[in-house]
Structure 1
Amino acid sequence: MTLTTLAALGFAGLAGFAALVQLALIAGAPWGALTLAGRWPGALPMRLRPVAALQAALQMAMATAVLVEAGLVALRLPGWCIWASLILTGVSVGLHLVTPSAAERRLWLPILCLMMICGGIVIIA
């Protein structure tokens, strides 16, 4: 298995984990402190669950873009999709550096940094 393949699968696995957490939040998991700056401890209010759905869909779209770029998924996507995925991940890193939620920062910052590294490997390979 090549480094590019491993990096793409790593990015997709981490994005999949993030999407599963968002789906659990939609279902009412009491993990509100791990998202949206930790403003809603416990279960997310119903009005915010569509935000979690959007985040889950975005994570899966980003994973797909990385897998396509690595040649692991046979779809045709514009070349900018991989760059958009990395830019969004980079913005997320920045936001998690300044989040007031220590729990959110401890969980997501390492994951997002690993996603940046994996996505970067896919782009330069």
Structure 2
Amino acid sequence: MELLFVSIAAGILLLIVILFQLALACGAPWGSIAMGGKYPGRFPNHMRIAALLQSLLLVLIGVIIFTRAGIILSAYLDWSRMAIWGVVAYSLVGSILNLITPSKWERRIWAPVVLALLACSSVVALSA
């Protein structure tokens, strides 16, 4: 039951970030709270494409978490045992970057989200 709860929590966190990235890709003027605030306002086209690609990567991360938790794609459970550690590493790097970013709003908004995702993905990775 705990694994299901943690996986759903991770899925909700991922959904929030995916929606944010998709909004950036569609031209939302929130660049000051992403990518260290390097592109305040609307992202330039190349960064909008990057935000779209980030969304796709986050969907894959969700698939890995849900597969490792035994919720979907049971045929890939063995593969997910390795892949989940990539998710943990990605979350760790993301946590560090969001904690050291020059954007104070990025630190305030996204650091807690990515730290929570790190915690969730670690629990899933360490599950039996």
Which range, TM-score by smaller chain?
over 0.9
Mapping of residues 4-15 of structure 1, within 5 Å: 4-15=3-14
Instruction: Check if 1:48 corresponds to 2:55.
Output: no
> RCO (CA 8 Å, sep 6+): is it higher in 1 or 2?
1
Q: How many residue pairs align between the two structures?
A: 124
- CA displacement 1:41-94 (0-9 Å, x = unmatched): 111011211110111111111111010000011251623211101100100001
Find 2:121's aligned residue among 109, 119, 122.
119
Residue 109 (structure 2) aligns with: 107
Aligned residue for 2:102, secondary structure, equals coil
Give the root-mean-square deviation of aligned CA atoms.
1.1
The one-letter amino acid paired with 2:125 is I
- Amino acid paired to 1:39: K
3-state SS of the aligned residue for 2:15?
helix
CA displacement, residues 5-50 of structure 1 (integer Å, 9 cap, x when unaligned): 0101111110111011000001110100111111111110112111
Measured in 2, the distance between the counterparts of 1:47 and 1:74 equals: 33
Contiguous gaps of at least 5 residues in structure 1: none
CA distance in 1, matches of 2:59, 2:45: 22
TM-score under structure 2 length normalisation: 0.92
2:41 match: secondary structure: coil
**After TM superposition, what 4+ stretches of structure 1 lie above 3 angstroms from structure 2?**
none
How high is the sequence identity, in percent, across the aligned residues? 31
CA contact under 8 A between 1:12 and 1:64: conserved in structure 2? Answer: no
